[in-house]
Amino acid sequence: MVNLVKTFGSLAKLFSPSLEAAKDLAQKKGSYEQLKAMMIKNGAKADELEWSGADDFFEGKKVTKDEIVEYLSQNDPRLYTERRVATEGLTGASDQMSAEDAVAKAMEDTTMVEQAKLDFLDDMKSEPDNNAEFIASLEKNNRLDAFLENEVREGLEDQFNMDQPAFLALHRIEAPSGFGEGDTQYSSYFPAGAERYMENLYQYTDPTEKIPFNQFASSRHFGDDDIGTIFHTRTGDFPVDSASETGGGFGSLARYVGEIQSDPQQALRGEKPRGYKETALVSEMSKLTDKVFNSNKKLLENNRKMFANNLSEEELGRLGREAAIFQINKIIKDPTKQNDTFKDMASAFKIKDELPLDTSSFTEDELEFLHYQLYNFDEFKGINLLASDDKRKADELLSARMQAAWTREPLGLKAVKEYMASKPVDWLNEGFRRYYGNLNADNMLLEMDIADTQSKINKIKIDHFEGGESYKSPGAPFLSSQNKWVDQALNRSIMDAVNDPNIDYLAFPDDIGAIGKVGGTDNPKEGAVNFYQRDVQNRLKKLLSKFDKNAQIEQIDLSPPSIQGETTDMFRTKGFKITPEFREQVIKKGIPTYALPPVIGYGALNSMGENENGDQM
pLDDT, tens digit (0-9, with 9 covering 90-100), for 403-436 = 677 787 778 888 888 898 888 888 988 888 888 8
What are phi and psi for residue 585, nearest 5 degrees?
A: -65, -40
Tell me the residue type at 258.
G
| CA distance linking residue 611 with residue 319, whole number of Å | 70
Nearest to 236 by CA among 568, 525, 604, 590: 568
CB 64 within 8 A of CB 194: no
| pLDDT, tens only, 458-501 | 999 888 887 655 567 899 999 989 999 999 999 999 999 999 99
Query: Residue 129 — pLDDT band, cuts 50, 70, 90?
Result: confident
Give the type of residue at 379: E
- pLDDT of 603 over the 70 cut: no
DSSP β-ladder status, 505-509 and 253-261: parallel
pLDDT tens across 236-258, in order?
999 999 776 654 446 899 999 99
Exposed e or buried b for every residue in 483-515, given b needs 16+ CB within 10 A?
Answer: ebbbbbbbbbbbbbbbbbeebbbbbbbbbbebb
Asked if pLDDT for residue 130 goes beyond 50, the answer is yes
Give the pLDDT confidence score for residue 610 in this predicted structure: 37
pLDDT digits (tens, 9 = 90+) for 209-232: 999 989 999 998 998 899 999 999
Radius of gyration of the chain, Cα coordinates, nearest whole angstrom = 39
Cα–Cα nearest to 19, from 594, 413, 617:
594
Mean pLDDT calculated for residue range 565-579 = 89
Tens of pLDDT, residue by residue over 69-98, are: 999 999 999 999 999 999 888 888 776 677
Q: Where are the alpha helices (DSSP H) in 42-127?
A: 46-51, 54-58, 65-74, 99-106, 110-125
Task: State the Cα–Cα distance between residues 492 and 489, nearest whole angstrom.
Answer: 5
pLDDT value of position 181: 87
Integer Cα distance of 603 and 617 in angstroms = 19
β pairing state of 229-239 and 195-203:
antiparallel
- Kindly list the distances between the CA atom of residue 207 and the CA atoms of 53, 211, 488, 509, 565, in Å, as whole numbers in the listed order: 8, 9, 18, 34, 50
- 3-class secondary structure, 603: coil
Question: Which of these, 561, 543, 568, lies nearest to 553 by C-alpha position?
Answer: 543
Q: What is the pLDDT of residues 27-76, one digit of tens each?
A: 999 999 999 999 999 999 999 999 999 999 999 999 999 999 999 999 99
Distance CA 34, CA 30 (A): 6
Q: Are 214 and 206 in contact (CB under 8 A)?
A: no
* Per-residue pLDDT at 513 exceeds 90: yes
Q: How far apart are CA 553 and CA 510, in angstroms?
A: 12
Give the model confidence (pLDDT) of 290-323 as tens digits: 999 999 999 888 888 888 888 888 888 888 888 8
- Residue 71 identity (one-letter amino acid): Y
- What's the whole-number average pLDDT of the chain? 85
